């Protein structure tokens, strides 16, 4: 957000965001307003949904990663040693709850992707046609040098005998 590039600390932050999303099905810094999203990110303001059972280990893991100051975040090594990852397998659920889109897609959203697919298919058809025409027009073995020498002769003859301009 500061346009200064990124480092491994940003990758660690991303692990926190992705973990939050995988466990809740939501973005940690969510709003319909981009400005509010930016403010939430810059202040590291997020809350776990109250209606979902998320273990304390998972909550603490995310809280130790989604920290504003990069030097205070867990390192990759610390992440792997965190209790969240060292839990016994029997504590894991057999099946995760099914998550769907929070909001149904509107017509504009669907049209945008329909138009994209149509445009992509048209471009792909054009590329295939161009490739086939190029393949058909390629000279066979030995014809390329013959073609180049004919072009050179035509250029040289045109420069010696310029065509008069007709009015």
pTM: 0.50
**Region of poorest pLDDT, from 7-11, 12-16, 32-36, 107-111:** 107-111
Residue 115 has pLDDT above 90, yes or no: no
Residue 108 has pLDDT above 50, yes or no: yes
pLDDT tens digits along 50-99: 877 888 899 999 999 999 898 999 988 898 888 887 765 545 556 655 66
With left for phi above 0 and alpha for psi between -120 and 50, is residue 25 left, alpha or beta?
left
**Span 15-19, average pLDDT:** 91
Where does the chain have alpha helices with state H? 8-24, 34-43, 56-65, 76-81, 107-137, 143-160
pLDDT tens digits along 120-153: 666 667 777 776 776 676 655 555 544 555 555 5
| Pairwise CA distance, residues 157 & 151, whole Å | 10
Q: What is the mean pLDDT of the chain?
A: 73
State what percent of residues in the chain have pLDDT above 90: 13
- What pLDDT was estimated at residue 1? 47
| Pairwise CA distance, residues 12 & 53, whole Å | 24
């Amino acid at each position: 957000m500061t346009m200064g590039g990124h480092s491994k600390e940003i990758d660690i932050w991303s692990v926190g965001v992705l973990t939050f999303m995988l466990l809740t099905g939501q973005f940690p810094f969510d709003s319909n307003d981009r400005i509010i999203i930016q403010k939430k990110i810059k202040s590291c303001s997020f809350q776990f949904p109250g209606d979902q059972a998320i273990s304390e280990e998972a909550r603490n893991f995310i809280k130790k990663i989604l920290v504003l100051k990069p030097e205070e975040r867990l390192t990759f090594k610390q992440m792997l040693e965190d209790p969240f990852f060292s839990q016994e397998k029997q504590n894991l659920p057999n099946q995760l709850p099914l998550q769907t889109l929070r909001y149904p897609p509107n017509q504009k959203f669907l049209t945008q992707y329909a138009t994209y697919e149509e445009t992509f298919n048209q471009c792909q058809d054009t590329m295939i046609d161009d490739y086939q025409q190029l393949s058909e027009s390629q000279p066979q073995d030995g014809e390329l040098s013959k073609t180049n020498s004919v072009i050179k002769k035509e250029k040289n003859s045109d420069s010696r005998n310029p065509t008069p301009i007709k009015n």
